[in-house]
């Protein structure tokens, strides 16, 4: 997490082309969240012109890395995430982050997950370290803590396909992505090492990651921290692409819209595969919300862990607006445990049914 | 009154969570995208002008209380919409209170029968456009700043948009306003299609740059989404025959929303990376609306351009221009360099004067050996606007500011000598106000008298637009 003076200056000099897209800014109107203003203050801190304070700390952590701003960035959008992580690391080290950030740090450090839940609560499966499995399933802590139904559905599908698997859920340690996103660089490295050691104990062909945030971390961050995997790593979307034709699907007449998760659309650029999979399930084929793909809206993201009220304002705002102009959609599908959790909690009526895609596929297998 | 006392008093008035004296907030709200604001970042420890306190009203009543308090205590007020201004309109030249309008961003009424929308003035242009698009409507006011500018800022600076040749500037949209006047009274102008009841009061505030009051709500015209949009691109051997084509298109009565003409340098500079490979001046033309009308207008326009020996190169570059119309990277990269500065000088003149104006400006920059890229846009039956982007690189930030002001001063002189306006749509702010008297003549006295009558203590947005200090 280095101070990239050039990219920070470019952002500061920009004419705010991303301002309208910053969802936490629109929810709070805290000017310091906008990339150009946040980076302006971080730049002044680095030049020793102002001292960092708790107000800046709050603003830095109000950014939920939804990365909508990347879509509209006239410079290198790819600098957004590293600069966010740099800013959070700066604030974290100076003990100026919101208290909940330090609670999460302690939970990750002591329990291996962000909720501080005791491990070993789930069913313990005795997987054989000498046997070769088809898949290693890595749910990721957002799935384990917020949306365990995703794992259940995936296992049901594996059962239909007669595939063998190792499941990493009973004592799973956070993959490190949340620690990285919250500026806890050192801890992220430690968590990655624990995961690396655990996963590489088993023999299997392919690692299937259920949480797209974890998947992003496995393919983008692990090697940078010195952990190189020598097996295939895929997200469950790639798994479904390979096996959807082997499943007996009952086609539905549901009116379905696809809520592009930020990490899939902007982080991983996986936009068409979820739509193609939905296309095999539904007779009505228009899955696009008005704002879709790299312009997609935000569910509140990981703000739900630090600023739950603001996260809820964002997710409720999205659902209420959708209701105001769309009287047809019955089902919202997403491919992210955070989106599923945030949008489900924000429902104040039964107007929409909300599922993760893997749950929707599982529900529609004959 | 000191910053901390000011904060305490304002908190008593409007509530704690609406007032901030945090240095981060004060710095963020004390700058816009004026080139000198950038140069100050590295030139000084902190910028020379920082507000003492930022207040974020949530409704008109809050604004009234702030204004009455400021008037009573003779504290200056500055107004911050989206912070996208390029002439320093938000810079708090005398400290005091900066009012952040962003929390007043609600859509109040969408009148689908009259095709108008009432909004609070803090709403960002693109957020309003997105709201309308979801309901199959559009504002069609697309300034380059739309992604950060507020509706209040559009109105206060008399902005225009990239589709203005058909839809007009913001003055053609406003049908009603709510304004908190400098004495705390609220003016609500009538929302009528037209009225012969004296001068249009709205026009006192459109382009007033906040000196006559704080715009809190606006009623704007909206449009149904166009049924058809088509682009045409032409290459001209010389810029003046292209200008003649535009004049004929406009005077024939055609209404292209977009008509843009780039000189050789800017055609190459801006479009080479999009596949432009011609030695000539690029003209982009767009028609949109009812399908049959679009086809008819398009046919007439193509005949006019072909008659002027233009080469029709299809629609691709027009579509690419639309997709890349916010890409100002080549300008901002120059500004970001130490000692670098660039800016856009947007002039306008009648058809009978525009060619000489263009030639004089071009000659000035050539003689000074300053890089210039120019294009024409925003056409009218009577004239057109010319946008001159210059790039300077000198030894340091201090020199850059000096040269920046010198270029502005010289080009405004050229404009005035050619009977052109010194600002087509960016406004005056603090950058151009010394030359405004020369353009407005007796008009400046009317503005100053009006300011003195409405705001005798010069409380609201002082030092902007007009020069006379009360």
Q: Which of A21, A37, A72 sits opposite B28 (nearest CB)?
A: A37
CB contact under 8 A, B326 and A43: no
- How many domains is chain A built from? 3
Domain assignment of residue A257, yes or no: yes
Q: What is the CATH number of domain B329-440?
A: 3.30.300.330
- Least Cα distance to A57 among A31, A37, A32 occurs for A32
Reply yes or no on whether the pLDDT at B284 is more than 60: yes
Same domain, residue pair A238 and A265: no
Residues above pLDDT 70, as percent of chain B: 99
Q: Coil, strand, or helix at residue A228?
A: coil
CATH topology of domain B3-102: 3.30.43
Edge-first strand listing for the sheet containing A256-258: A256-258, A331-334, A353-356
Summarised one tens digit per residue, pLDDT across range A181-220 is 999 999 999 999 999 999 999 999 999 999 999 999 999 9
B394 or A171, which is more confident?
B394
Report the pLDDT averaged over residues A298-323.
97
Distance CA A112, CA A105 (A): 10
Which residue of A lies nearest to B146 if distances are taken between CA atoms? Answer: A17
Confirm or reject contact between B324 and chain A (CB < 8 A).
no
Q: Which two tokens stand for residue A280?
A: 């095999």
Class of domain B107-224: alpha beta
Lowest average pLDDT, out of B80-94, B320-334, B383-397, goes to B320-334
Which residue of B lies nearest to A36 if distances are taken between CA atoms? Answer: B28
| pLDDT band at residue B470 under the 50/70/90 scheme | very low
Q: What is the largest CA-CA distance in chain B?
A: 70
Domain assignment of residue A203, yes or no: yes
Confirm or reject contact between B335 and chain A (CB < 8 A).
yes
Residue B373 pLDDT? 93
Reply yes or no on whether the pLDDT at A170 is more than 80: no
Burial class (CB in 10 A: 0-12, 13-18, 19+), B195: exposed
- Least Cα distance to A180 among A1, A365, A332 occurs for A1
Reply yes or no on whether the pLDDT at B391 is more than 70: yes
Contacts of A70 in chain B (CB under 8 A): none
Same domain, residue pair A69 and A147: no
CB contact under 8 A, A32 and B24: yes
Summarised one tens digit per residue, pLDDT across range B326-366 is 988 988 888 888 999 999 999 999 999 999 999 999 999 99
Domain assignment of residue A105, yes or no: no
Reply yes or no on whether the pLDDT at B303 is more than 90: yes
Confirm or reject contact between B41 and chain A (CB < 8 A).
yes
Report the pLDDT averaged over residues A98-122.
91
**Residue A213 carries which DSSP code?**
H
Please give the C-alpha separations between residue B151 and each of A20, B118, B208, in angstroms, as whole numbers. 13, 11, 14
Contacts of A310 in chain B (CB under 8 A): none
Question: Residue B377 pairs with which residues in a beta bridge?
Answer: B385
Reply yes or no on whether the pLDDT at B36 is more than 90: yes
Same domain, residue pair A71 and A17: yes
H or E segment to which residue B100 belongs:
strand B97-100
Checking phi first, is residue B76 left (phi over 0); if not, alpha (psi -120 to 50) or beta?
beta
DSSP labels, B226-279: PSEEEEEEEEESSHHHHHHHHHHHHHHT---SEEEEE-HHHHHHHHGGGT---S
DSSP labels, A301-362: TTHHHH-HHHHHHHHHHHHHHHHHH-SS--EEEES-HHHHHHHHHH--SSS-EEEEHHHHHH
For Cα atoms B414, B419, B425, give the angle at the middle one, nearest 5 degrees: 85
Which residue of B lies nearest to A45 if distances are taken between CA atoms? Answer: B24
Confirm or reject contact between B73 and chain A (CB < 8 A).
no
Residue A307 pLDDT? 98
Residue A122 pLDDT? 62
Distance from CA of B436 to the nearest CA of A (A): 26
Distance from CA of B244 to the nearest CA of A (A): 34
Residue A76 pLDDT? 78
Q: How far is CA A269 from the centre of its chain?
A: 13
Which residue of B lies nearest to A43 if distances are taken between CA atoms? Answer: B41
Which residue of B lies nearest to A48 if distances are taken between CA atoms? Answer: B45
CATH 3.30.70.3450 occupies which residues in chain B?
A: 228-323
CB contact under 8 A, A12 and B127: no
Distance CA B150, CA A20 (A): 10
Distance from CA of B341 to the nearest CA of A (A): 11
Distance CA B275, CA A348 (A): 51
Residues in chain A: 366
Q: Coil, strand, or helix at residue B23?
A: helix
By DSSP bridging, strand A165-167 and strand A132-138 are parallel
B285 or A3, which is more confident?
B285
Residue A1 pLDDT? 72
Checking phi first, is residue A140 left (phi over 0); if not, alpha (psi -120 to 50) or beta?
left
CB contact under 8 A, A29 and B102: yes
By DSSP bridging, strand A331-334 and strand A256-258 are parallel
Q: Are A139 and A150 in contact (CB under 8 A)?
A: yes
Reply yes or no on whether the pLDDT at A121 is more than 80: no
CATH topology of domain B228-323: Alpha-Beta Plaits (3.30.70)
Same domain, residue pair A81 and A16: yes
Distance CA B214, CA B77 (A): 10
CATH 3.30.465.10 occupies which residues in chain B?
A: 107-224
Beta carbon pairs, A and B, within 8 Å: 101
Domain assignment of residue A107, yes or no: no
Please identify, among A70, A97, A124, the residue that sits at the C-terminal boundary of a domain.
A97
Distance from CA of B136 to the nearest CA of A (A): 10
CATH 3.30.43.10 occupies which residues in chain B?
A: 3-102
Please identify, among A207, A242, A277, the residue that sits at the C-terminal boundary of a domain.
A242
Domain assignment of residue A238, yes or no: yes
Distance CA B144, CA A15 (A): 9
Contacts of A17 in chain B (CB under 8 A): 147-148, 326
Q: Which of A18, A26, A40 sits opposite B28 (nearest CB)?
A: A40
Distance CA A164, CA B89 (A): 66
Q: Coil, strand, or helix at residue B285?
A: strand
Summarised one tens digit per residue, pLDDT across range A126-137 is 789 999 999 999
CB contact under 8 A, B134 and A26: no
Residue B334 pLDDT? 87
Same domain, residue pair A151 and A236: yes
| pLDDT band at residue A125 under the 50/70/90 scheme | confident
CATH of the domain at A291: 3.40.50
Q: What are phi and psi of A270, to 5 degrees?
A: -100, 85
Same domain, residue pair A73 and A154: no
Confirm or reject contact between B81 and chain A (CB < 8 A).
no
Summarised one tens digit per residue, pLDDT across range A210-267 is 999 999 999 999 999 999 999 999 999 999 999 999 999 999 999 999 999 999 999 9
ipTM summary value: 0.97
Domain assignment of residue A324, yes or no: yes
Same domain, residue pair A181 and A220: yes
Summarised one tens digit per residue, pLDDT across range B412-461 is 999 999 999 999 999 999 999 999 999 999 999 999 999 999 999 999 99
Same domain, residue pair A274 and A325: yes
**Residue A288 carries which DSSP code?**
B
Question: Residue B340 pairs with which residues in a beta bridge?
Answer: B393
Distance CA A352, CA A339 (A): 14
Q: How far is CA A59 from the centre of its chain?
A: 20
Same domain, residue pair A212 and A277: no
Distance CA B426, CA B170 (A): 12
Contacts of A53 in chain B (CB under 8 A): 22-24
Contacts of A12 in chain B (CB under 8 A): 38, 41
Same domain, residue pair A225 and A254: no
Q: For the CA atoms of chain B, what is the radius of gyration?
A: 22
Report the pLDDT averaged over residues B226-235.
98
| pLDDT band at residue B468 under the 50/70/90 scheme | low
Q: Print the domain residue range for A255.
A: 249-363
Distance from CA of A23 to the nearest CA of B (A): 11
Distance from CA of A39 to the nearest CA of B (A): 11
| pLDDT band at residue A83 under the 50/70/90 scheme | very high
Which residues in A86-118 are b (16+ Cβ under 10 Å) and which e? Answer: bbbbbbbeeebbbeebeebbebbeeebbbeeee
Edge-first strand listing for the sheet containing B116-120: B107-111, B116-120, B214-221, B174-180, B186-188
Q: A80-93 and A35-46 helices cross at what angle (nearest 10)? A: 50
Alpha helices in chain A (DSSP H): 5-13, 23-28, 35-46, 54-62, 68-72, 80-93, 99-111, 141-146, 149-160, 177-181, 185-199, 212-220, 236-243, 262, 272-281, 303-306, 308-325, 337-346, 357-363
Interface of A with B (CB under 8 A): 9-10, 12-21, 26, 29, 31-32, 37, 40-41, 43-44, 49-50, 53, 55-56, 59, 72, 74-75, 290-291, 321, 324-325
Reply yes or no on whether the pLDDT at B52 is more than 60: yes
Please give the C-alpha separations between residue B367 and each of A124, A292, B10, B347, in angstroms, as whole numbers. 81, 50, 54, 20
CB contact under 8 A, B24 and A290: no
Please identify, among A97, A120, A146, the residue that sits at the C-terminal boundary of a domain.
A97
DSSP labels, B393-442: E-SSHHHHHHHHHHHHHHHHHHHHHTT-BS-SSS--TTTSHHHHHHHHTT
Report the pLDDT averaged over residues B225-236.
98
Summarised one tens digit per residue, pLDDT across range A39-67 is 999 999 999 999 999 999 999 999 999 99
Residue B313 pLDDT? 97
Reply yes or no on whether the pLDDT at B2 is more than 90: no
Distance CA B85, CA B88 (A): 6
CB contact under 8 A, B148 and A16: yes
Same domain, residue pair A198 and A237: yes
Question: What is the pLDDT of chain A when averaged over all its residues?
Answer: 95
Contacts of A50 in chain B (CB under 8 A): 23-24, 27, 46
Reply yes or no on whether the pLDDT at A2 is more than 90: no
Residue B89 pLDDT? 97
**Residue B293 carries which DSSP code?**
H
């Amino acid at each position: 997490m280095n101070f990239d003076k050039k990219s920070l200056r470019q952002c500061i000099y920009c004419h705010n082309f991303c301002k309208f897209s910053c969802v936490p800014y629109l929810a709070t109107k805290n000017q310091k969240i906008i990339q150009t203003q946040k980076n302006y203050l971080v730049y002044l801190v680095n030049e020793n012109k102002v001292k960092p304070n708790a107000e800046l700390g709050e603003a830095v952590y109000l950014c939920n890395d939804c990365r909508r701003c990347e879509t509209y960035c006239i410079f290198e959008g790819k600098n957004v995430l590293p600069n966010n992580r740099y800013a959070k690391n700066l604030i974290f080290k100076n003990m100026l982050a919101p208290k909940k950030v330090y609670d999460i740090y302690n939970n990750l450090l002591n329990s291996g997950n962000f909720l501080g839940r005791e491990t070993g609560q789930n069913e313990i499966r005795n997987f054989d370290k000498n046997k070769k499995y088809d898949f290693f399933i890595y749910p990721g802590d957002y799935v384990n803590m917020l949306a365990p139904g995703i794992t259940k559905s995936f296992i049901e599908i594996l059962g239909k396909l007669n595939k063998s698997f190792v499941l990493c859920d009973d004592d799973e340690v956070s993959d490190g992505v949340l620690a990285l996103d919250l500026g806890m660089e050192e801890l992220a490295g430690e968590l990655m090492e624990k995961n690396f050691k655990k996963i590489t104990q088993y023999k299997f062909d392919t690692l299937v990651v259920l949480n797209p945030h974890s998947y992003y971390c496995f393919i983008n961050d692990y090697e940078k921290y010195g952990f190189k995997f020598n097996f295939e790593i895929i997200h469950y979307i790639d798994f479904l692409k390979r096996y959807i034709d082997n499943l007996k699907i009952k086609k539905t007449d549901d009116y379905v819209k696809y809520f592009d998760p930020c990490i899939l659309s902007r982080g991983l650029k996986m936009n068409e595969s979820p739509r193609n999979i939905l296309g095999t399930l539904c007779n009505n084929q228009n899955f696009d919300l008005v704002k879709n793909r790299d312009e997609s809206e935000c569910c509140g993201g990981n703000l739900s862990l630090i600023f739950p009220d603001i996260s809820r304002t964002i997710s409720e705002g999205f659902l209420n607006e959708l209701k105001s102009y769309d009287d047809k959609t019955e089902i919202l599908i997403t491919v992210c445990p955070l989106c599923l959790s945030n949008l489900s909690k924000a429902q104040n009526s039964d107007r929409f049914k909300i599922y993760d895609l893997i749950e929707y596929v599982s529900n529609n297998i004959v | 009154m000191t910053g901390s006392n000011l904060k305490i008093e304002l908190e008593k008035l409007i509530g704690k969570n609406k007032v901030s004296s945090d240095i981060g907030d004060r710095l963020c709200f004390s700058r816009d995208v004026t080139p000198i604001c950038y140069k100050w970042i590295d030139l000084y420890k902190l910028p020379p002008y920082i507000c003492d306190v930022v207040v974020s009203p949530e409704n008109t009543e809050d604004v009234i209380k702030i204004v009455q308090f400021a008037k009573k205590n003779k504290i200056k007020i500055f107004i911050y919409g989206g912070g996208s201004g390029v002439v320093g309109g938000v810079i708090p030249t005398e400290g005091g209170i900066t009012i952040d309008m962003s929390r007043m961003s609600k859509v109040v009424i969408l009148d689908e029968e009259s095709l108008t929308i009432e909004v609070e003035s803090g709403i960002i242009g693109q957020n309003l456009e997105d709201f309308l698009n979801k309901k199959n409507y559009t504002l069609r006011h697309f300034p380059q700043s739309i992604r950060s500018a507020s509706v209040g800022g559009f109105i206060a600076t008399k902005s225009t948009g990239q589709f203005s040749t058909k839809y007009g500037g913001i003055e053609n949209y406003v049908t009603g306003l709510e304004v908190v006047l400098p004495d705390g009274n609220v003016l609500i102008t009538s929302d009528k299609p037209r009225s012969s009841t004296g001068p249009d009061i709205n026009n006192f505030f459109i382009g007033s740059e906040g000196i006559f009051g704080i715009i809190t709500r606006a009623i704007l015209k909206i449009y149904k989404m166009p049924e058809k949009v088509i682009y045409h691109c032409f290459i001209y051997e010389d810029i003046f025959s292209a200008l003649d084509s535009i004049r004929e298109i406009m005077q024939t009565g055609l209404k292209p929303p977009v008509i843009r003409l780039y000189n050789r340098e800017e055609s190459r500079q801006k479009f080479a990376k999009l596949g432009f490979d011609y030695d000539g001046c690029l003209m982009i033309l767009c028609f949109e609306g009812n399908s049959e009308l679009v086809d008819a207008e398009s046919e007439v326009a193509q005949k006019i351009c072909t008659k002027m020996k233009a080469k029709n190169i299809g629609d691709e570059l027009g579509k690419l221009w639309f997709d890349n119309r916010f890409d100002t990277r080549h300008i901002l990269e120059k500004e970001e360099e130490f000692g670098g500065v660039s800016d856009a000088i947007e002039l306008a003149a009648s058809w009978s004067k525009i060619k000489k104006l263009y030639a004089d400006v071009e000659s000035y920059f050539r003689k000074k050996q300053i890089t210039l890229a120019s294009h024409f846009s925003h056409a009218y039956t009577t004239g057109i606007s010319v946008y001159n982007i210059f790039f300077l690189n000198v030894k340091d930030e201090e020199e850059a500011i000096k040269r920046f002001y010198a270029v502005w001063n010289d080009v405004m002189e050229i404009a005035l000598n050619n009977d052109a306006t010194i600002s087509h749509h960016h406004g005056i702010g603090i950058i151009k106000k010394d030359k405004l008297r020369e353009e407005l003549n007796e008009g400046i006295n009317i503005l100053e008298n009006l300011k003195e009558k409405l705001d005798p203590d010069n409380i609201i947005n002082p030092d902007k637009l007009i020069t006379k200090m009360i």
